[in-house]
Structure 1
Amino acid sequence: MQKIHIIGLGLLGGSFGLGARQKFPEIKITGHDTNPQNLKDALTLGIITEAKETPDADTDLVILATPADTLGDLLLQVLDQVGEQTLVFDLGSTKAKLCALMADHPKRKQYLASHPIAGTEYSGPKAAFADLLDRKVIIICELEKTDLHLKEKAYKLFDALNLKLRFMDPEEHDRHLAFVSHLSHASSFMLGQTVLQKMQDEKNIFDMAGSGFASTVRLAKSSPAMWAPIFTENKENVLAALDGFIENLTDFRNKIAAEDTQGLYDKMAEINKIRDILDLGK
């Protein structure tokens, strides 16, 4: 593996670049970002070795790390540009639409649908770091549709970055992510909004914010440019997750209104079982 091209030089794209350069010091990494400052920062930080709008024909891997609603058009454009020995993979949080778009594409075998379960609440090249992906899961969809020889290039990179591979149907991926990722971001943003609205009247409210509030609202610092498209691209699954969440919130509110202490205790005790599930997942 000699050449990688990264489009989108933010947290994920940047971390792939830094990780790849750490593991393969001689590799050439070109890259592009529509934000001129991101491009400048990526060069300064050593995420890429050269700014380049399009990948060379002999590039081994092209990594697409742009917002979810841009990936479809970008994928089609890049596949038109690359040679037969180039594999293109994306880092998007939604997969069903992309896989459907690519179903009958003549270069379908040169595309790998992937999603690393990694990130922080920060964004941009300056937030990237080489170990972000270490021991994280990367979900691969429709593996059988990608050329055997080409996907070995991606596997070599994933293995070097210590990523753990999981395989999933694209519809299943989007459905599950709506509940374990997209919903948590939506609820964090709305908690943040609720407290900000209260702050207009109570200027000292954040003086009373402890670690519980900080950890719960942490995701509200995430990039709107990334998350607004995720919510709309995965609309049906996100709406289903939100409907269930709102129903549970309403039930919880009703128990409080009725001063149903035992009901609240029983409900929370039942939910405490999630500790065992999360401990098993470590």
Structure 2
Amino acid sequence: MKKIHIIGLGLLGGSFALATKKAKPEMEITGFDSDEQNIAIALEMGLIAKSLSVPDKDTDLVILATPVDTLFDLLVKTLDQIGEHTLVMDFGSTKDQLCRQITEHPKRAQYLAVHPIAGTENSGPKAAKEDLFDGNVMIICEMEKTDVHLKGMAYDIFDALNLRLRFMDPKDHDLHLAFVSHLSHATSFVLGKTVIDKTADERNILDMAGSGFASTVRLAKSSPEMWGPIFIENKTNVLEALNSYIDHLAVFRDKIEAGDIQGLKDEMLEANKIRNILNFTE
């Protein structure tokens, strides 16, 4: 592999460029972004060697790292443009609809549906981190539909970036992500909005915000341009997750209202089990 082209030069695209440059310095990395300022910053930072609106025909790998509502049209356009030895991967946070939409494309075997479980609340090329992918999970969907030789090329990159591979059905991916990622972002946005509304007449409240609040609301700083489309694309699963969360929140509220201290402790003890599931440490 000699050439990689990245479309979308934000946090994920930029971090992939930095990590690849470190792991495989001989690689030529080009890129494109719909925001001209992002292109200028990416060139200045050395994330890409040059900007190309269309990848060269001899490009080995094209990465699509744009908002999920842009991915289908962009994927079709890219597959139509590439040569027969080029692999295309998207980094989108939803997979089911995209995989179903692309299933009949004549170059379907040149597409690999992946989702790196990596990110921060920051966005744009300046947020790129060389170690963002290091040791994290890369979810792969419908691996059997991708050409075996092209898939091998992708695995070589994943290994160089120290990614741990997990294989999932697209429907299962979207359902699980709704609960462990999309719900977290939705509730963080709402928490941030709730506190902002309260501080309109109590400006000093933020002076009392400690590390617990900061860590809980951190995701509220995430990009609306990225997360708005995710919530809509994964609407059914996100609504299921939100409805379950609201039901549990109502139970918690009712126990506070009733002064049920033992009931509250029982609820919190049950929630404490998440420490064992996620291997949290004190």
TM over 0.5: yes
Give the CA deviation at 1:257.
0.6
Aligned counterparts, 1:251-270, within 5 A = 251-270=251-270
Aligned counterparts, 1:210-225, within 5 A = 210-225=210-225
The equivalent of 1:135 in structure 2 is 135
Write the distance in 2 (CA, Å) between the matches of 1:152 and 1:269.
Answer: 46
The equivalent of 2:155 in structure 1 is 155
The equivalent of 1:48 in structure 2 is 48
Write the distance in 1 (CA, Å) between the matches of 2:227 and 2:174.
Answer: 14
**Which stretch shows the higher mean deviation, 173-182 or 267-276?**
267-276
Write the distance in 2 (CA, Å) between the matches of 1:165 and 1:273.
Answer: 26
Secondary structure, aligned partner of 1:167: strand
AA in 2 matched with 1:143: M
AA in 2 matched with 1:214: A
Give the CA deviation at 1:280.
7.5
Aligned counterparts, 1:203-282, within 5 A = 203-279=203-279
Provide the TM-score with structure 1 as the length reference. 0.98
AA in 1 matched with 2:262: Q
Give the CA deviation at 1:27.
1.1
Secondary structure, aligned partner of 1:279: coil
AA in 2 matched with 1:275: R
The equivalent of 1:85 in structure 2 is 85
1:155-185 CA deviation, whole Å, 9 max, x = no partner? 1111100001000000000000000000000
1:24-58 CA deviation, whole Å, 9 max, x = no partner? 11211110001111000101111101111110111
Give the root-mean-square deviation of aligned CA atoms.
1.0
Secondary structure, aligned partner of 1:85: coil
Write the distance in 2 (CA, Å) between the matches of 1:175 and 1:269.
Answer: 26
The equivalent of 2:73 in structure 1 is 73
AA in 2 matched with 1:99: C
Secondary structure, aligned partner of 2:165: strand
Write the distance in 1 (CA, Å) between the matches of 2:81 and 2:244.
Answer: 44
1:181-203 CA deviation, whole Å, 9 max, x = no partner? 00000000000000000000101
Write the distance in 2 (CA, Å) between the matches of 1:209 and 1:127.
Answer: 25
Provide the TM-score with structure 2 as the length reference. 0.98
Write the distance in 2 (CA, Å) between the matches of 1:47 and 1:151.
Answer: 24
Write the distance in 2 (CA, Å) between the matches of 1:50 and 1:21.
Answer: 14
Write the distance in 1 (CA, Å) between the matches of 2:54 and 2:198.
Answer: 48
The equivalent of 1:178 in structure 2 is 178
**Which stretch shows the higher mean deviation, 193-202 or 269-278?**
269-278
Write the distance in 2 (CA, Å) between the matches of 1:43 and 1:141.
Answer: 32
May I ask how many residue pairs the two structures share in their alignment?
A: 281
AA in 1 matched with 2:128: A
The equivalent of 1:3 in structure 2 is 3
1:85-143 CA deviation, whole Å, 9 max, x = no partner? 00000000000011001111111100000000000000000000111100000000000
AA in 2 matched with 1:109: A
Structure 1: which 5+ residue stretches go unaligned?
none
